[in-house]
Amino acid sequence: MNAPPTFESFLLYDGEKKVQKEEDTKVTNAAIFTDPKVLFAGYKVPHPLEHKFVLRIQTTSDYTPQEAFMNAITDLTSELSLFEERFKEAIKEKKDGLD
C-alpha cells in the first residue's frame, strides 16, 4: 500500500519538532567501547519474542569481562543522571520562558 505511515500525518505547531524514537544501541555500546581494555563487545537477541539476549565482552588478560560490564553500567548510570539533570533544567527554562 502506498499510504504514508499513520504517525506521519500529525500536525505540528510552528517551531515544534517531531520526536522520533528508534531502537538504538549506540549509548550502551559507547559505554563499553570507551574502555581501552575492552577488545570486543557485542550482543544478539536469539528470538524477538523472548526477553533474553546474549552478551559477549572480550577484554585484555588483566581485566575481566565482569569488571568491564560493571564499569560500563556505572559510567552509563552517571551519564544518564547528568542527562536527566540537564533535561529537567531545560524543561524548567522552557516553562519559565512561557510565563
- Dump pLDDT digits (tens) for 7-59: 666 677 787 776 665 555 565 566 666 889 999 988 888 888 888 888 888 99
Q: How far apart are CA 20 and CA 89, in angstroms?
A: 22
Whether residue 19 is contained in a domain is answered as no
Q: Supply the pLDDT for residue 27.
A: 58
pLDDT at 54: 87
Q: Which CATH number goes with the domain that contains 57?
A: 3.30.1360.10
Q: Are 56 and 41 in contact (CB under 8 A)?
A: yes
State which residues form the domain around 44: 30-97
Strand bridging mode 38-44 / 54-59? antiparallel
Give the residue-averaged pLDDT of 70-75: 90
pTM of structure: 0.60
State residue 86's pLDDT score: 96
pLDDT value of residue 85: 97
The domain tally of the chain equals 1
